[in-house]
Chains A and B, each alone.
Chain A
Amino acid sequence: MRDALTFTDLSKTFAVAKGLLGRAKSQVHAVQPLSMSVEHGETLGIVGESGCGKSTLARMLVGLLPPSTGVIEIDGHPLDPSDRAAFGKKIQYVFQDPISSLNPRKTVRQIMEAPLIHLHGLNSAERAKRIREIFAAVNLREEFLDRYPHEFSGGQAQRIGIARALAADARILILDEPVSALDVSVQAQVLNLLSDLKQQLGLTYLFISHDLAVVEAVSDRVAVLYFGSVVEVGPAEQVFAAPRHPYTKLLANSAPVVGRPLAQPEMRETELPDPLNPPPGCAFCGRCPRRIARCDTERPPLLTQSDGVSIACHNPL
């Protein structure tokens, strides 16, 4: 069976500090060439801190941002980035901020109908039926349809956002921090809903978050992003329980956990490298406790180890 979603050498470069004639003076590699595939019915978690390129990656995958290089394939067929409707029917996006992703001047019904009209060309009876089905699936009452977004709580608004993504009838959902704007008690409601929907509808998820515990709880596989490249990919239960890349270990140790004393995880007060002037070797070597001479000069490739975990490190744990 072919993979649900494959991307090969996908990268994004932004031009910064444009000159007078619009010619770029320097470039920032937001996402280094990435290759990965997601199986049907799988949840691939993507974790990383701000500035690691996870949102840029998500926006490229749904066609909101044209990639600088690379190909996106769905079920083995390459996507044409200029054909937005084809994109929308195959792959959809759930936004981080549920309220601002809903137009304040439209009713929920108008929001829900947009993909049904423009992607599928349904008539009004078909649309009503489809909306009823979707609302039942995400546990929303139909009386909500004639209200405006500001009347909803964050959790309800996020269900509407998920319902809109489902209305496009795409099999692949990119979930970009779907619960980070929600309170914990509501966060669990939404996460469980997503897991039910996946089973009922046979969906494939790409789950992006900065919250390691959430990613671990929902994902089959987890990819850790640092400075625009993948540093470690592996089964969810393994990546944080037994991290192989020093950055993954730092992340896992930094997350505050009940019952673990506060430790100083990093001795140096370090920050991300300068994106305008990236280091020639490993991007993490400035913060790395296991740095060796090669790390300064040579960028480590992502290599698959015998246990199925892939890491990009010259001196793994």
Chain B
Amino acid sequence: MSGFLSLLARNRLALAGAVVIVTVVLLALVTPLLPLANPDATNTAIRFQRPFQGEALLGTDHLGRDLLSRLLWGTRLSLAVGFTAAVAAATLGATIGIIAGYYGGRTDNIIMRGVDMLMAFPYILLALAIVAALGPGLMNALIAVAAVNIPFFARNIRGVTVGIAHKEFVDAARLSGLSNARIIVSEVLPNVIPVVVVAMSTTIGWMILETAGLSFLGLGSQPPQADLGSMLGEARSALITNPHTSLVPGLMILVIVMAINLLGDGVRDALDPRLKSGALSRPMPATRVHRETPPAPPAGEAVLALQGLQTQFHVKQRKYRAVGGVDLALHAGECLGIIGESGSGKSVAALSVMGLVASPPGVITGGAVYYKGRDLIGAPYETLRQLRGDRVAYIFQDPLATLHPLYTVGEQLIEAVRAHHSVSRIQARRHAIELLKSVRIPNAQDRIDSYPHEMSGGMRQRVGIAMALSNDPEVIIADEPTTALDVTVQAQILSLLDDLRRERGLAIIFITHDFGVVAQLCDRVAVMYAGRIVEEGPTPAILNTPQHPYTARLMACVPELGQGRRELAAIPGLPPAVDQLPTGCAFAERCDLVRPACTAGDIALTTSGPRKLRCILPPLPREARV
């Protein structure tokens, strides 16, 4: 709750709206206590008195009634009717929406078609019809305004409820023996209420306007009772001669509706989880760089060399050190595996290469990435844009999320080609078909016009690979490309990647959490833990004689096929949170072989032959480390 208020307070406009509306509501509440003239007392002797001239502060209307008094009493009435109508519409609409969304099927169909019929009438016509049927009067105007707004709430809430009703926690509640009514009240409703509040905050202003509209037409409050709409309606005939009689209620309506809408937008932004997660803060085209002097380029022939790369996420006061100094070198035609658990920084390190980490909150705070001797960190956006997808391409885990659902795969491949080469569409299309053939998609000529949703997961990932290959890159960074796929499909994709890299001399960085995949595909492997590399070397050496206790124990956790039923080794505890990294070895807390020196200070990555290791223990036989 306090988080919500502080979020709201940060939005200046919403805060201003809140101040205004609170003032107006307070004024309306204390109106009976104020020393005001009787709002309905007529005195034709002083009719149309100008503001600030006589006893009546805001002047008088055509019957000589005190405008200030009428304004305050009228505001009180208009606010009360508006709020009541909004609450009634929200309650009824939300109830209808929840029932339709939760039960689904025929119930949903019948209810929502009814709501659709209500929506098919222009709202003012519908309100007029309701008032005509019930007769004029403030209460009937309230009913009309509430009724015409029910469909808006019903449709909104139904959509949200459908999403929630299919969540696993609703199934879990069913299995816990809860009845449907209880599930609606205790599981669905608490998750729907924020949406109701958001919808209400954005519609109250509208409802006050609608009530004023009906009163303006003489269908709402009846004379002599004042509300803002009827005041405006009565002043209409004197609009030219005595504009102040219209201006006073008109300005009040403007102020109220404006303030409520500003506040409502603020409430929506503060409550909507999608907006809270930063959907509105558009990420920059390249990750922000905030580093001191970059390290010198490394010696050697590496196509891509990461030097002490550090990437952090700055969220409020906290600094999450996702990547805490990574050195890696990738040579032409080589496949380098990066293995680690979730949160180990493997994906962030890979995305930092081309500045693809979303900023905010991502910041590259140190190190360099040399592509053929050129530092990419802090390079101008245009340089990065030309290299992205052309020289260094990515393959992501979920091709359904990375392919655009509204374009055919052919259009997307053609776009990828034409972004970097000025070729005609026909040539690009021919090239795209060739690409689809090269990733072994059957009937490439026909499949090129398919939409992503028409393909299976394996086929989509082939398209993802084809897109990465479209400009003949030198480096491909594959981030868990087979994790979402079935094993038989994974085997097809892995063998495809292996063939492609041998045919085309590609250098691949392959990110995974699967030792089996690394063993089959990668020449070298780096093991990451809590944002740093703990061990690196040729794949057979690392897998046969792991030297870091983490590598050894992680491998022991993985069940291998063909060993039958058994107790599995586990690593107790969890990796440390990257905003509270311990001094020394990050794995020390979970390590059986820990000694005081492990937590005393930073432990360097030491090189011996082709292998690197970040551990102070002397080399031990594998069994001792597990």
Q: A residues engaging B (CB < 8 A)?
A: 22, 49-50, 59, 62-64, 84-85, 87-88, 92-93, 95-97, 100-106, 111, 114-115, 118-119, 153, 155, 161, 164-165, 167-168, 183-189, 191-192, 195, 210, 212-214, 216-220, 236-237, 240-241, 250-266, 269, 271-272
Contact = CB atoms under 8 A, between A and B. Distances in A.
Given A101-B169, A103-B173, A261-B520, A188 B106 contact: no
Nearest to A101: B168
Contacts of B172: 93, 95, 101-103, 111, 161, 164
Contacts of A260: 519-520
Contact of A216 (B459, B488, B557, B565): B565
B173 to A, nearest CB: 6
Contacts of B516: 255-258
Contacts of A189: 570-572
B167 A100 contact: yes
Interface stretch (B295-303, B350-358, B491-499): B491-499
Q: Which 8 residue pairs across A and B have the least CB separation, nearest first?
A: A256-B516, A118-B177, A188-B570, A49-B486, A254-B491, A101-B168, A115-B176, A114-B176
A62 B175 contact: yes
A214 B177 CA distance: 31
Nearest to B440: A269
Contact of B561 (A103, A115, A192, A212): A212
Contacts of A168: 175-177
B563 A265 contact: no
A93 B175 contact: yes
Nearest to A52: B486
A269 B461 CA distance: 13
Contacts of A183: 341-342, 513
Interface in B567-590: 567-572, 574
Contacts of B558: 184, 213
A183 B567 CA distance: 17
A251 B487 contact: yes
A133 B515 CA distance: 38
Contacts of A264: 491-492, 495
Interface residues of B, number: 65
A277 to B, nearest CB: 15
Contacts of A272: 456
Nearest to B568: A188
B168 A97 contact: yes
Given A88-B176, A119-B176, A64 B171 contact: yes
Contact of B563 (A64, A115, A217, A253): A217
Contacts of B609: none
B521 A262 contact: yes
Contacts of B572: 189
A249 B459 CA distance: 23
B187 A254 contact: no
B442 A269 contact: yes
Contact of B191 (A93, A104, A164, A186): A104
B13 interface: no
A106 B186 CA distance: 9
B564 A266 contact: no
Given A219-B565, A236-B564, A103 B169 contact: yes
Given A191-B568, A237-B564, A250 B488 contact: yes
Nearest to A216: B561
B177 A185 contact: no
A104 B177 CA distance: 19
Contact of A155 (B489, B559, B574): B574
Contact of A269 (B492, B543, B555): B492
B574 A84 contact: no
A98 to B, nearest CB: 9
B308 interface: no
A295 to B, nearest CB: 19
Nearest to A212: B561
B565 A265 contact: no
B457, B492, B555 pick with most chain A CB within 10 angstroms: B492
B229 interface: no
A186 B569 CA distance: 10
A95 B171 contact: yes
B392 to A, nearest CB: 24
A64 B513 CA distance: 33
Nearest to A149: B169
Interface in B416-437: none
A119 to B, nearest CB: 4
B554 interface: yes
A113 B339 CA distance: 40
B559 A217 contact: yes
Contact of B559 (A164, A213, A269): A213
B571 A64 contact: no
Nearest to B567: A192
